[in-house]
Chain A
């Protein structure tokens, strides 16, 4: 499994052609208490950069963008009833969906963990 990061604070963990999408620990800390999550339906086609999930804190709504193009093959529906999981385990149980990628070359522009860590430290 290889993990990649975006400048918008999404992470994707890639195994073969399937990428799991979530937001980073930095992102959840910035958001504060998450009170609502909307994940995509299985079968939906998403394009790179497209709004794929919604995460809302008490104060604000944020869109989560997919860094890759593909088809949603799994969604973390239980988050609807326990949105706080995004705060508690953002890079584990707080995942939003799994996307079967149609163009793995899109991964090449993403950051690895070390690059993302440096990026966050520069904010």
Chain B
């Protein structure tokens, strides 16, 4: 048998992997640790299928401390937002206090250098919080710092850890620990206290479920992790289930579904470019992105559902009904909630309509599959009534 490979192989991180503050806690729980994005991370505890199902049914706890947390700081919101809008296509100026937005750092061709979350804390006038991908964070910080005006500073929060609590019971768990978050809207952010530990919460995540990301000082994260796991509704979830959850949720994984060669329009992320930015431009690659909006794109990210049981992995060739290559799978595997294989990839735009029949070339055979709408599992984000 070929040696099983767990976690993504890590070609860009040849130095010894780092450890998050929770490394010992993961090992104590029996996690299988793998190098991922420059860190030793837990790929699974009891098993990916059980962890995936638990997160959809109750509450799953993730250590995502490898991700980058930073703050942009300047005189006022307009100054800081204006600086960031030079790098991303989201409407940052219009970001209300207490809200978060998803966006992308773009290159001059409109390609995606990284995707990130941007938040404005309640009452903040001159600071923006950023959360970026672990594998990209060093490059992101250099990219951002080199392009900021002199009156805006980038502060990197190496002292902070990040947890995610995801699933239908996540909100109840946090309420029981003293956080008044039941009425929070999806993408709302703010400070809170969990069992007396100060945290900064955002009602968001990477699973398609309702849930929260919890930024906490690295000195207190181990205690908070233990408090959360003491709740019988909570189980720890590894990177394996994180990947199957986000894939079923139709969410992009940087370096697979989006990268420097894909634009937000091709990737189906146009919803994250608000109207004013589409009209005004003023971000890297704006001419290309705006012409793609106006004239359409040559290829699009789509969902793909194989008819049979065989998963089609990242890199699988997609062919039309005549066997002609039309694209490539960028994420694929088994969807535990779907109960079968699921995939995402890019196809020529003429083949992107849901219902289009395609083939996935797995081990030399074109397996029948169909283009489908994303997500595979409906999102259950919590939208507060306006």
Residues of A with Cβ closer than 8 Å to B?
8-10, 23, 27, 30-33, 35-36, 38, 54-65, 80
Contacts and interface: CB of A to CB of B under 8 A. Distances in A.
Contact of A62 (B1, B49, B243, B363): B1
B126 interface: no
Interface string B305-347: 0000111010000000000000000000110100001000000
Contact of A36 (B5, B6, B311): B311
B240 interface: yes
A33 B311 contact: no
Contacts of B310: 36, 38, 54, 56
A90 to B, nearest CB: 11
A33 B1 contact: no
Interface of B: 1-7, 43-44, 47-49, 52, 240-241, 243-244, 309-311, 313, 333-334, 336, 341, 363
A55 B1 contact: yes
Contacts of A58: 48-49, 52, 240-241, 244, 333-334, 336
Contact of A63 (B1, B241, B334): B1
A30 B5 CA distance: 9
8 contacts: A23-B1, A33-B48, A36-B310, A58-B241, A58-B336, A59-B5, A63-B2, A65-B1
Contacts of A30: 3-4, 6
B48 A62 contact: no
A46 to B, nearest CB: 15
Contacts, number: 71
B84 to A, nearest CB: 36
Contacts of B52: 58
Contacts of B5: 59-60
B349 to A, nearest CB: 29
Contact of B4 (A31, A36, A38): A31
Given A8-B2, A60-B4, A80-B309, 20 more contacts: A8-B1, A27-B1, A30-B4, A32-B4, A32-B6, A32-B240, A33-B47, A55-B1, A56-B310, A57-B4, A57-B48, A58-B49, A58-B52, A58-B336, A59-B4, A59-B333, A62-B1, A62-B2, A63-B2, A65-B1
Nearest to A57: B4
Contacts of B47: 32-33
A36 B334 contact: yes
Given A36-B310, A36-B334, A36-B341, A59 B1 contact: no
Contact of B1 (A10, A32, A35): A10
Instruction: Rank and list the top 6 A-B pairs by shortest CB-CB distance, nearest first.
Output: A35-B334, A58-B48, A33-B49, A62-B2, A31-B4, A8-B1
